[in-house]
A and B are shown apart, each in its own frame.
Chain A
Amino acid sequence: MTLSREEVAALGRLARIELSAEELDHLAPQLDQILEHVAQVSEVAAADIQPTSHPLPLTNVFRADEPKPCLTVEAALSGAPAVEGNRFRVPRILGEEA
């Protein structure tokens, strides 16, 4: 397996991480080495084995739908990078072409 620079750049786009040219050069061989190592899991014959997603048997947990105290608007906005009125201010969502 060899992960190309272009494939790493594509992964960066999927993960929403901009990557510089130097980072791509550095990351490609490292990711390749890691993927080669983890690919060992394919050696295990496990066709009839149930997958485990979680160490505990999980069941959905319900509670009564009753209002309870929660964060105030001020507390919820206290860490926001930008605020307008009582709301989070965010960059535009739609791109130029949209």
Chain B
Amino acid sequence: MSDIVHSSAAELAARIADREVTSVEVTQAHLDRIAAVEPAVHAFLHVDSERALAKAAEVDAKIGNGESVGPLAGVPLALKDVLTYSGAPTTCGSRILQDWVPPYDATVTKRLLAADIVILGKTNMDEFAMGSSTENSAFGPTHNPWDLDRIPGGSGGGSSASLAAFEAPLAIGTDTGGSIRQPAAVTGTVGVKPTYGGTSRYGLVALASSLDQPGPCARTVLDAALLHEVIAGYDPADSTSINAPVPPIVQAARSGDISGMRIGVVKEFAGEGYAPGVEHRFAEAVELLAGLGAEIVAVSCPNFRYAMPAYYLILPSEASSNLAKFDAMRYGLRVGDDGVASAEEVMAATREAGFGAEVKRRIMIGTYALSSGYYDAYYGQAQKVRTLIINDFARAYEQVDVLVSPTTPTTAFKIGEKVDDPLAMYLNDLCTIPSNLAGNASASFPVGLAPEDGLPVGLQVIAPPLADDRLYRVGAALERVLTEQWGGPLLSRVPDLGGPELEVVA
């Protein structure tokens, strides 16, 4: 007896390849789980049952014919609704794209399908990936499976919640300032932001083009590495794609050897504003890493304190420009086109009706920062701070191989608690933002539950650009020793979501 939805992607793929279970059975088990728990969790904006089952049947046939298939063939996945998948709506959590069905596939989507992965549907997110809680979705918030009254992180809260609720063993996220890592931290899952340029942005609806990066989300370190390998690599359709071999991430995830690795603890990411349980679990995990043979060094990155203000100038500036394409002319919502109103009036009325409060705030901040007279003081100065942050990283990597910090200063907060306080919300990304500004590789791994509230805590690992394999080495080492300590995976402690009996096969 073995429980399909609680299995890792690697286990499922092996069992499908060995014909112990079919991909159709695995896919149906996840669709049943989705039907059972979605009323409580709301991780999905669209469930694509028919195409998922058809794809699963196709994979089963391939395997039946003895054709060779990839290491994740037949395994279901949840795709963040910011990546195009032709034939399914891509809304980005926004009313302005409510009924838009893209006529093309993102490169990430193409690679998933080519690897015979089964796409279950599209996951909920903060509108255009602006947020840390998924509350900015125009279609209602997603609930954290650990406590349904709490946020699952954001912007990729749908992807993280789908993993923690056992609705999918794999998910895709995108990370502009922490939207893969912070949701992973608050749901006890694994999330990796690859090196900027390591995964293709083609078909990813852009928020801030110099920061956005798609990446893998999973429940285990190996699953994340296997998925990372599927989606990574050079893409001529993305002008910022790096034409270099993908680092040996799967090998690193299988090894987990960190003996002799120099690990830097970022001094600035501690103290005021950090929950005691977060600091406690983080410190414990660092001890464990030392016990496994890593050398722990305290590292100072003095300009990181300016990362958040610089980010909240650079991101809105790029976003205000990227979101100018939502002009009601070629796709998406159009409001007030009465035959009299001008294109400009229709555009303004459509953007008023189609964008939510946070999107409007950021577009206006960006418009302000880029306007003449303010450009040098705001956007120009923020770009200089970006250089200083890159220099801080460069100095740190002279001393250490990776940096670590808590992923986010607190555990999951209550839905509604910060929704109308933009600055309080922005603080969730304090520790994750520097990696996006520098374009390096960064990940969050679960390190336990905070004693005071029983909610998951994540540890962030940051590696230099193109050293993504180091993230997996540290993640695998932690996972191995912690799983043993806990007597099983952390996610086995997620409360029962009240669905019917889980699918069990002989």
Listed in ascending order, the chain A residues whose CB lies under 8 Å from chain B are 8, 11-20, 23, 26-27, 30-31, 33-35, 37-44, 46, 49-56, 58, 61, 63, 71, 75-76, 78-82, 88, 90-95
Contacts and interface: CB of A to CB of B under 8 A. Distances in A.
Contacts of B367: 11, 14-15
A35 B465 CA distance: 31
Given A34-B422, A51-B387, A79-B331, A41 B361 contact: no
Contact of B351 (A18, A42, A82, A92): A18
21 contacts: A14-B371, A15-B360, A15-B367, A17-B351, A27-B357, A35-B368, A38-B312, A39-B309, A40-B306, A41-B381, A41-B385, A42-B381, A46-B385, A53-B210, A55-B210, A55-B440, A56-B196, A63-B236, A88-B329, A91-B345, A92-B342
A89 B124 CA distance: 31
A25 B2 CA distance: 57
B384 A81 contact: no
A71 B84 CA distance: 15
A33 B423 contact: yes
B349 A18 contact: yes
Contacts of B239: 58, 61
Contacts of B324: 16
Nearest to B341: A91
A46 B360 contact: no
Nearest to A70: B104
Given A27-B361, A30-B361, A56-B197, A71 B103 contact: yes
Contacts of B196: 55-56
A37 B236 CA distance: 39
B303 interface: yes
Nearest to B379: A51
Contacts of A12: 348, 364
A55 B440 CA distance: 8
B361 A88 contact: no
A54 B465 CA distance: 13
B242 interface: yes
A95 B349 CA distance: 16
Given A79-B330, A91-B337, 9 more contacts: A12-B364, A15-B320, A16-B348, A26-B357, A37-B309, A39-B309, A41-B381, A41-B384, A80-B331
A12 B371 CA distance: 13
A95 B342 CA distance: 6
Interface of B: 100-104, 196-197, 210, 236, 239-240, 242, 303, 306, 308-310, 312-313, 320, 324, 327-334, 337, 339, 341-349, 351-352, 355, 357, 360-361, 363-365, 367-369, 371, 377-378, 380-388, 390, 422-423, 426, 437-440, 465
A30 B424 CA distance: 11
Given A38-B312, A41-B381, A81-B334, A55 B390 contact: yes
Contact of B240 (A23, A26, A58): A58
Contacts of B327: 16
A93 B342 contact: yes
A71 B105 CA distance: 12
A30 B422 contact: yes
B223 to A, nearest CB: 27
A24 B384 CA distance: 32
A17 B367 CA distance: 11
A18 B329 contact: no
A18 B383 CA distance: 30
Count chain A CB atoms within 10 A of each CB in B309, B351, B378 and give the residue with the most.
B309
Contacts of B439: 54-56
Contacts of A23: 360
B388 A46 contact: yes
A44 B377 contact: no
Given A11-B368, A71-B103, A27 B360 contact: yes
A54 B312 CA distance: 15
A90 B103 contact: no
B164 to A, nearest CB: 31
A35 B210 CA distance: 21
B248 to A, nearest CB: 21
A50 B384 contact: yes
B344 A16 contact: yes
